Structure 1
Amino acid sequence: MQSTIVMTGATRGIGRVAAECILRESPDAHLLSVARGSVGVRPAAELGAGGHAVSHVEADLGSLASVHSAAVEIRDRLDRGDLPPLRGFVGNAGIQHTNALTEGPDGFESTFTVNVLANHLFVRLLEDRFAAPARIVITASDTHFGDFKHNMGMVPGPVWRSPEVLARAGAFAKPDTAAGGRTAYSTSKLAAIYLVHEYARRLPAGIDVVAYNPGFVPGTGLARHAGPLARFAMRRILPVMTLTPFATSRRAAGRHLADVVLGTTKAPTGSYVDRGRVARSSQESYDPRREGELWDAVERFTAAYTA
């Protein structure tokens, strides 16, 4: 079946592995990679080697105006017939800062913008272009559990507050520290799961939405804003943990992501996939009141770009 799959975060890490798997397993798919500036040019060419259909659209996920422009370009290409029917969106890109004070051009805290608002804006601007059956996959994180079992004490658990507060810089204790930045990250991933539940209620039948947790995957670009010692540990020391049950290799995490995107991993809409199986997310992540409150807030935050 010919299809277009739009994917953020396909240029490196688990996203790059997933993109390779998707193209290998679904040769009729056109993978449209969304990447910042010229970063996506070379990976798109490499992924397209061997005759695979791959293109890219430029977008800075930290800017809602840039996300809007990318989504409009995708819509136009679909409407012109330059792309096959849209059957997938993968919101895999994510960011983690060493503080909770980094503000984007829209006035929102950067972690919240990239990990929550950018995905929401893509979903809202593309939802009427999806051709059923279609699947939306949002990469989550088991840091949203907030316990030692799931994060080994490396990332503080989420601290939920009003979305109006969470979306702004300085929402957490010690916002100028790495702990503040990591709290912003785990909280943004909890927010992503809340929105997956809300999308499942609101999207038309035939458009499924799933949250995917790759587990702890050392060696990815997530720690690129960390200090030198932390970056060294993520690249050179912590990858050894993939030999244990406490971590997932990039290859395995990317393979699992591809299986979720292609539907090889069977998962009902609104579900949470932990690596290769449907599982329960944290108890805190099931809260219809918070989900509705967050939906209303992100609709307000992105209203200027969805009208």
Structure 2
Amino acid sequence: MRSMVMTGATRGIGLIAAQELLRRDRDLHLVILARGAGPAGFADRLRAISDHVTVIDTDLADVASIRAGAARILQLVDDGTIPPLQGFAGNAGVQFVDNVHVTGDGLETTFAVNIYANHLLIDLLRHRFVAPARVVITVSDTHFGDFRHTGGLVPAPQWTSPEAIARRSAFPEPKTVTAGRMAYSTSKLGAIYLVHEWARRLPDGVDIVSYNPSLVPGTGLAREASRRDQFVNRWILPMLALTPFADRISTAGRKLADAIVGTVAAPSGAYIDRTREVPSSDESYDPARERALWDYLQSLASANA
């Protein structure tokens, strides 16, 4: 028996992946962190597949809530209620139509959820990981910033410094959709930096990779956006799911499950694009930025301990 912790498992590709993981491995105990313990009925759908499901109320935009959720996991492991930890899947992510949302801890919310929450959970849980263990962080090919990867819907990331992008209004015209999407693509670039730095620091037998689901129509990318983008999201993107350029939610969820269990062979620190290991963007390989981000996140963790 083994346990895996997962965020972003209450809907979309995360829910599909969680169902797939439980179907594939009857010895897996899935621990899901979800705000408000998730939407009504989602846990019942999982427990219809396996009884080995624990849901812990955790708000990933709240540092105290993350710490409480992690403490509860460690307590369950230590008292033998759940099996040893052999993985973490950080699939949760947010995107806003502006760059002005702030958490109660004073961080811009996109940064807080897409980068800091993953870092803090890895840091709090890593001493209980039993090798072989695997950490998977869901990222996005929007970090490339070109038309081939974004279709013109998401602007390129603009990395400055961790201290800057962690604050509201870090991007031009912060009350616009463009700024919100820029915060998103920049956070996904940061998540890859995080994976690279943790790959250097985690012990042998504990691997970490990033997973890119690529274009998945129906995930709400263009909601509350311009009429043009809403039209594209509603009518054009679903047709792309019939081509090699995009995946349906069900397909992307199964591929996420493959990444989590290691079906796709990839070394620690690698970038998995759907079903294969490929290089991420040139900009995503920057040891100085990776170290600076890790140091800043550790400073936040120390300040909020």
TM range (shorter): over 0.9
Tell me which amino acid in the other structure corresponds to 1:164. E
Q: Is the 8 A contact 1:12 1:221 kept in 2?
A: no
**1:229, 1:32 → 2: CA distance?**
40
Residue 295, structure 1, aligned to residue 294, structure 2: yes
* Structural mapping, 1:73-222, within 5 Å: 73-221=72-220
Tell me which amino acid in the other structure corresponds to 2:171. F
Shift of 1:241: 1.4
**Alignment size in residue pairs:** 305
Moved beyond 6 Å, runs of 4+: none
**Structure 2 gaps, min length 5:** none
Name 2:246's counterpart in structure 1.
247
**1:69, 1:226 → 2: CA distance?**
35
Q: Is the 8 A contact 2:153 2:229 kept in 1?
A: no
Identity %: 53
Change (3 A) 1:79 1:230: farther
**2:178, 2:7 → 1: CA distance?**
26
Name 1:67's counterpart in structure 2.
66
Q: Is the 8 A contact 2:37 2:58 kept in 1?
A: no
Change (3 A) 1:48 1:77: same
Q: TM-score, normalised by structure 1?
A: 0.95
**1:73, 1:228 → 2: CA distance?**
44
Q: How big is each residue's C-alpha offset from its partner over 1:252-302, in whole Å with a ceiling of 9 and x where there is no partner?
A: 211111011111111110000000000000000000010011111111122
Q: Is the 8 A contact 1:223 1:230 kept in 2?
A: yes
Shift of 1:8: 0.4
| Higher mean C-alpha displacement, 39-48 vs 182-191 | 39-48
Q: Is the 8 A contact 1:133 1:207 kept in 2?
A: yes
**2:258, 2:9 → 1: CA distance?**
15
Name 1:304's counterpart in structure 2.
303
* Structural mapping, 1:256-271, within 5 Å: 256-271=255-270
**1:22, 1:228 → 2: CA distance?**
38
Q: TM-score, normalised by structure 2?
A: 0.95
| Higher mean C-alpha displacement, 72-81 vs 180-189 | 72-81
Q: Secondary structure at the match of 1:210?
A: strand
**Cα root mean square deviation, aligned:** 1.7
Q: Is the 8 A contact 2:86 2:134 kept in 1?
A: yes
**2:155, 2:95 → 1: CA distance?**
13
Q: Is the 8 A contact 1:40 1:58 kept in 2?
A: no
**1:272, 1:41 → 2: CA distance?**
34
Change (3 A) 1:119 1:73: same
Q: Is the 8 A contact 1:210 1:271 kept in 2?
A: yes
**2:258, 2:77 → 1: CA distance?**
25
Q: How big is each residue's C-alpha offset from its partner over 1:34-88, in whole Å with a ceiling of 9 and x where there is no partner?
A: 1110425621221111444111001111111111111111111111111101011
Q: Secondary structure at the match of 1:88?
A: strand
Q: Is the 8 A contact 2:138 2:211 kept in 1?
A: yes
Q: Is the 8 A contact 2:210 2:270 kept in 1?
A: yes
Name 1:274's counterpart in structure 2.
273
Q: Is the 8 A contact 2:4 2:88 kept in 1?
A: yes
Name 2:56's counterpart in structure 1.
57
Shift of 1:200: 0.3
Tell me which amino acid in the other structure corresponds to 1:69. A
Q: Is the 8 A contact 1:157 1:187 kept in 2?
A: yes
